[in-house]
Homo-oligomer: A and B are copies of this chain.
Amino acid sequence: MIRFECDYGEGAHPKILEVLAQTNLEQTAGYGMDPHCDHARDLIRQACRAPEAAVEFLVGGTQANATVIAAILRPYQGALCAQTGHINVHETGAIEASGHKVLPLPAKEGKITAHQIRQACEAHWGDATHEHIVQPGMVYLSQPTEEGTLYSLSELEDIRAVCDDYHLPLYIDGARCSYGLGATENDVTLADLARLANVFYIGGTKVGALFGEAVVIPDPAIQKDFRYMIKRMGGMLAKGRLLGIQFEVLFQDGLYEQLGRRTVALARKLAAAFGEKGIPMLHKSPTNQQFPILTQAQRDKLGEKYAFSFWQQVDEDRAAVRFCTSWATREEDVDALVADIQNL
C-alpha cells in the first residue's frame, strides 16, 4: 500500500534526526529557554521580517489553536471562522473547552471573505439584543485551508481591514504553511503573514518535523504572558529544545520553503494526471491536497494499491477523495500513481 491519505504518515526529514542525534547529550535548560530555541526564534523572525515578534513552539496544531484562541478571547467572545475550519469540525471541542463558542460562516472552497466577516459584525452590533449573543472576538483563517485552497494577498488585506474596523485580532492557522508558500499561484509571504496577522503559526508536523508548530506573535498584547497560557494548557514541553532544534533545521538554508515547493510540484503532477484523464476535481487546489471526484469503480481500482481519504459524496456513484503529497512523498510513488490514473 502506497499512502497518500495524509501528510503526517512518516517521521522526520533525515537532517532533523541527524541533528537530534548530534545534540542528544547536550545539557540544556528546559521549557524552551535553551539556545536552540533562541536560535530558531531568530531564524523565524528573520524569515518573517518581524524582528519584534515573539516566537513560541508547541507540539501540535490543536494545542496551538486552543492556546492562541484562549489567549486572545474574553470569556463572552467567539472566533469567526469558516464552517469547514479545523477548529469547528476536527478538534473535539478544544476551543469550547476554554469556554468559547466557534462562530462558523458558510465557506466557499474552505475560504471566507472580508465581506462575510463585516456582515457578521454588523449583524452582531446592529442587534438590539447583542448582549445576549456571543460577541465576535477574533477571526480564524487557515492558509492553506482545509480544502487546499489559498487566500490571495489582496483577500487577506481586505480581511485585515475589516479586522481593524472591528478591533478583531486575526489568527492564521498555518499547519500546512509551507505548502502554501510553495504554490506557484501563491502571492503571500511569511512577512505578509507577520504583517497582517496578530498571530499565526508555522506548521512543522506536516512539513518535515517529527512534531512541532512555531507560533509567531507580532502583537504585543498577545505576547504578554503567553508562556503562562502554554503551561496552563498543558503545552509546555519539558525538553523544549526538541522543538527548537527541529525549527533550526527547517529554517536553515531555506529547507522549509524548499520542502514546500517540492511537495506541491508532486501534487500538481497528480492534478495534471487527473485532468488529462478527464476526471473532475471538487475544486482547484494549488497546494499539496488534491480532491478528484472518482466513481466507485475508480476508487476501488486505485484503492487496491494506494491509500487515500474519503472526502464527500458527490452523487450516488461518485465521491470526492483526497490525495495528499508531503515532504516525504517519493517521486517514484507519484509516477506509479500517475501511470495508474492514466490506465483507469
Contact = CB atoms under 8 A, between A and B. Distances in A.
Interface of A: 1, 3, 6, 8-12, 14, 17, 20-21, 23-31, 59-63, 66-67, 70-71, 74-76, 78, 89-94, 96-102, 129, 131-135, 205-206, 210-211, 225, 227-229, 231-239, 242, 328
Interface of A is mostly: loop
Contacts of A74: 225, 228
A8 to B, nearest CB: 4
A60 B234 contact: yes
Contacts of A135: 92, 225, 228
Contact of A6 (B1, B30, B94, B225): B30
A97 B100 CA distance: 7
A132 B309 CA distance: 15
A12 B24 contact: yes
Given A12-B24, A101-B102, A228 B76 contact: yes
B8 A238 contact: yes
A236 B76 contact: no
Given A78-B93, A232-B75, A27 B9 contact: yes
Contact of A75 (B21, B90, B98, B101): B98
B233 A132 contact: no
A61 B6 CA distance: 28
16 contacts: A10-B24, A10-B27, A11-B26, A59-B59, A60-B236, A61-B238, A75-B97, A76-B225, A92-B132, A93-B232, A96-B134, A97-B98, A98-B99, A135-B228, A206-B238, A211-B237
A237 to B, nearest CB: 6
A131 B233 CA distance: 12
A61 B90 CA distance: 24
A96 B26 CA distance: 35
A9 B241 CA distance: 10
B11 A233 contact: no
A270 to B, nearest CB: 17
A162 B94 CA distance: 27
A31 B92 CA distance: 14
A134 B3 CA distance: 27
A95 to B, nearest CB: 8
A243 B99 CA distance: 28
A93 B99 contact: yes
